[in-house]
Amino acid sequence: MTRARALVCLCAFLCACSEPASDTGQDGSSARIVTLAPNLAELVFAVGAGDQLVGVSAWSDYPRAVLELPEVGDAFVVDQEQLAFLNPDLLLVWESGTPLHTVEELRKRGYRVESVRTRGLDDVAAALRRVGELTGRQEQADAAAEEFTAGLQSLREQYVDQPPIDVFYQVSARPLYTVNREHYVSGLIDICGGRNIFDDLDDLAPAISAEAVIDRDPEVMLASTDAGDDAFALWDRWPSLAAIKHGNQFLLPADEIGRATPRLLIAGNAICLALSQARANRSQ
């Protein structure tokens, strides 16, 4: 992965001259939509409104159909000329990832902008329903939301009796970031019977020190495959760490863990399997 994409993914994980958009049907079913985050494009398809999507942000690659759509920049730099050409009725922005000044500028230019929140696991189901409401696909959205919620509950029931285990989720190594209790990754760890060692911090994706990790001595370390095979190389100098002693360092599928969409069920299953292996390693 290029350095540019790595920076975009990290920022996303942490945190136009045109005429006003034309009016659409009251239920939104004919709205021309542009999304300014990859997870939002996925949510639009998840509720069955992919045919209304006319433009996407950089790095949008799922489902495959979005690769055929024109890009309008990313959360930080919007191609106003391309956006004006597409003439959308609705712009979907990501509450945690689209800067406020970008949202304000788009609204000043006459666009209808709707912000979608996807911080915790409960937000994903709510986001599906909200996108369904905006696109006139409420029935499909409700079904998708219920399926996602049921999938989470199934995972929880499967692992509810597992012994607790302390987990460190590493968003990036340089700089060193993790997640707190409000982040959906922490929610998945909890479902799988793990305990996020930094769930008490205030920021959603706080910067931390290596010393803080050493002090809390996690039994498991998790990161995404985007971090590369050397994701945990930093910790080799501290062989006394429980996670190092037990060989409990696991990489999770990057797209699934990095985007708050129904595919978090895949990421959740990967986390649960990793923690099960970690418990076995610990017992040995």
In degrees, to the nearest 5, what angle opens at C-alpha 259 toward C-alphas 255 and 90?
125
For the chain, residues classed under CATH 3.40.50.1980 are: 3-149, 161-283
Assess contact for 233 and 203: CB atoms under 8 A. no
* Arch. (CATH architecture) of 161-283: 3-Layer(aba) Sandwich (3.40)
Question: pLDDT band for position 98 (50/70/90)?
Answer: confident
Question: pLDDT band for position 194 (50/70/90)?
Answer: very high
pLDDT of 16:
29
Does the pLDDT at position 4 exceed 60? no
Average per-residue pLDDT for the chain: 91
Structural tokens at position 115: 């912000």
* 239-275: pLDDT as tens digits: 999 999 999 999 999 999 999 999 999 999 999 999 9
Kind and range of the H or E run holding 115: strand 113-116
Rounded to the nearest 10 degrees, what angle do helices 121-135 and 38-46 cross at? 60
Q: How many CA atoms lie within 13 A of 191 on its CB side?
A: 28
What is the pLDDT averaged over residues 126-138? 97
CATH superfamily of 3-149: Nitrogenase molybdenum iron protein domain (3.40.50.1980)
Give the span between the Cα atoms of 112 and 252, in whole angstroms: 36
Give the span between the Cα atoms of 53 and 170, in whole angstroms: 33
Could you give phi then psi for residue 45, rounded to 5 degrees?
Answer: -70, -35
Identify which of 191, 170, 199 has the alpha carbon closest to the alpha carbon of residue 272: 191
pLDDT of 13:
52
Give the span between the Cα atoms of 248 and 237, in whole angstroms: 15
Check whether the bond before 262 is cis (ω within 30° of 0).
no
Number of Cβ within a 10 Å radius of residue 84: 16
Give the span between the Cα atoms of 193 and 170, in whole angstroms: 18
pLDDT of 97:
82
- The pTM assigned to this predicted structure is 0.89
